Amino acid sequence: MSEYNIINGQELLHICHEKGLTISEVGMNLEVERGEMTRQQIYEEMRLNLQVMRESIREGLEEQQTSVTGLMGLDADKLNAFTESAIMGRELTRIVASSMAVTEVNASMGRIVAAPTAGASGILPATIICYGDTHDLTEEQMVSGLFNAGVIGLIIARNASLAGASGGCQAETGSAAAMAASALTELRGGTPEMCLHAAAIALKNVMGLVCDPVAGLVECPCIKRNAIGACNAVLCSDMVMAGIESIIPFDEVVTTMKNVGRMLSPDLRETAKGGVAVTPTALKIAERIRMAD
């Protein structure tokens, strides 16, 4: 019988308390229990993910990515250059710019880590790596953050969805923000309960967010939603570290996200048939791209 076959947040907390483990340690043990790789091999695989994430941030900020369509590019670099003037401060500006950098690399066909999806790939790496670098965390600590995030993503996937096609953007950038908020909270010394509070608040903050990609591409508004997702993750971690809790438990929030996703019109779930994807400007962009092909 599995010791780590986690179905929901309540089971996760029970395991954490019973065994005296952090969420990241539970994540590692879950992978070991599957028996496909040794503990060291599992760690090395996750360390490789971290390296790819770091490289995608560097590439996006230093090599000024532009997409084939010309729909996006250089915005991460612009925000990064604005760091000293930004009201939100140097650290958060760097995180937000890095989240955009990763998704610009994705849109330009570069190498990224889906976290949990390509469309939401900037939030988790930007949050963990930028925070880790600023606060002198070790590589091992940042890898542990990825294991924490993986557990949160697993629970959301099992009880709701990580796909915009089935749950809207709340399921993509919302889930990524929840994963990042939880991971960041653990890295800051938060308890498993605090991690789930942060994840719950992050999901509630974007409940019902639609998926409406212009021209069906993961560029607009996806890249800027990664930016707000990174802010969401940091804000939620700050709130719980200050002692704020989510009134609605994590598991109930995840179930609600699933139900809300089902209620969304198919036109608002990645089909590009609703939302900003059907504005006059968006339709002109889609036609221009179609003609170019």
Q: Write the DSSP assignment of 187-209 as a string of letters.
A: HTT--HHHHHHHHHHHHHHTTT-
Among 251, 211, 195, 221, CA closest to 9? 251
In-domain check, residue 31: yes
Give this prediction's pTM. 0.96
| Range of the structural domain that residue 36 is part of | 9-292
Two tokens, residue 177: 């923000």
**Phi (first) and psi of residue 66, to 5 degrees:** -135, 145
In-domain check, residue 210: yes
In-domain check, residue 181: yes
For the chain, what is the total number of helices (H) and then of strands (E)? 13, 0
pLDDT digits (tens, 9 = 90+) for 177-193: 999 999 999 999 999 99
Whether 84 has a pLDDT exceeding 90, the answer reads yes
Q: How confident is the model at residue 1 (pLDDT cuts 50, 70, 90)?
A: low
In-domain check, residue 3: no
Confirm if 148 and 131 have CB atoms less than 8 A apart.
Answer: no
**Phi (first) and psi of residue 52, to 5 degrees:** -65, -40
In-domain check, residue 1: no
| Domains held by the chain: number | 1
Partnered with residue 66 across adjacent β-strands are 73
In-domain check, residue 2: no
Two tokens, residue 57: 């941030």
Calpha distance 231→177 (Å, rounded): 8
What pLDDT is stored for residue 230 in this prediction?
98
pLDDT digits (tens, 9 = 90+) for 192-245: 999 999 999 999 999 999 999 999 999 999 999 999 999 999 999 999 999 999
Confirm if 22 and 186 have CB atoms less than 8 A apart.
Answer: yes
In-domain check, residue 25: yes
Whether 31 has a pLDDT exceeding 70, the answer reads yes
Confirm if 102 and 226 have CB atoms less than 8 A apart.
Answer: yes
In-domain check, residue 4: no
Calpha distance 22→191 (Å, rounded): 7
Among 289, 265, 293, CA closest to 69? 289
Q: How confident is the model at residue 109 (pLDDT cuts 50, 70, 90)?
A: very high
- What is the secondary structure of 127-153 as a DSSP string? HHHHHHHHTT--HHHHHHHHHHHHHHH
